[in-house]
Structure 1
């Protein structure tokens, strides 16, 4: 346990002395990461760094709010439609995601604003055809 700060000694001097004495005793020699750069050094400060680090170190995952999950699903559906094997498959993928988007617009979903409208099926299918030429 550390000593108590002597009366009249400034905190900084007392702390500096304790750190110096601990270094001299070799108490910092076997710390993990010793001699390595600090993680994230040189990057902008993220106020939530410690939460993200804890979630990652514990192997936790946080579900997205429904509106953000639908946006992510919509992006993935577009990619799937563009890579579909047939025009029918591309059309089906876009129609399915459009139905989910319409339902979300009608009923509303918790989370940030959806900011998503149904996709133009004919435009996506046309792009699919042009990519195959």
Structure 2
């Protein structure tokens, strides 16, 4: 619906007044061309890359399931058991809250995580990596670089 030629819409008026005040002067990127549009979902790709995962687009129930699935890899980066337990407890509290009062569809269909089992797995994996490092040092081989998942790799 077009505005009457003699009447300015509130949005147009606010933009005009801001321009008159100089609110748009000296903005970052002024005088530079806009980024080239390469496709309909280009914005989403840039946003997801900036977020480093697309999980912020998911409903909370699916975010929690994804976070529970990715938790062992996240725990592997931790050095002490207290931090590991804190991460597990935080996730368990959010899972319990979502089970009690669902905030999104689909509903969350999972149980809280067994902290003792996850800590035992974390400790076993940590011990295994330490043994591999010792064996590599004893054999004079350099330590292998950790594998990165495809979404963690950056294009060059």
TM-score, length-scaled by structure 1: 0.51
Report the RMSD for the aligned CA atoms in angstroms: 2.1
**1:79 counterpart = 2:73:** yes
Secondary structure, aligned partner of 2:112: coil
Give the superposition deviation at 1:122: 0.3
Counterparts of 2:76 and 2:101, CA distance in 1: 28
Give the superposition deviation at 1:97: 0.2
1:91 counterpart (72, 85, 108): 85
Unaligned runs of 5+ in 1: 1-52
Give the superposition deviation at 1:117: 1.3
- The match for 1:118 is 112
Counterparts of 2:100 and 2:65, CA distance in 1: 16
- The match for 1:103 is 97
Q: Residue 76 of structure 2 contacts residue 126 of structure 2 at CA under 8 Å; is this kept in 1? A: no
Q: Give the aligned length.
A: 79
Q: Residue 81 of structure 1 contacts residue 90 of structure 1 at CA under 8 Å; is this kept in 2? A: yes
Dislocated runs of 4+, deviation >4 Å: none
**1:131 counterpart = 2:118:** no
Counterparts of 1:98 and 1:76, CA distance in 2: 14
TM-score, length-scaled by structure 2: 0.44
Give the superposition deviation at 1:108: 1.1
Q: Give the alignment of 1:12-23 within 5 angstroms.
A: none
Q: Residue 82 of structure 1 contacts residue 124 of structure 1 at CA under 8 Å; is this kept in 2? A: no
Counterparts of 2:100 and 2:59, CA distance in 1: 17
Secondary structure, aligned partner of 2:94: helix
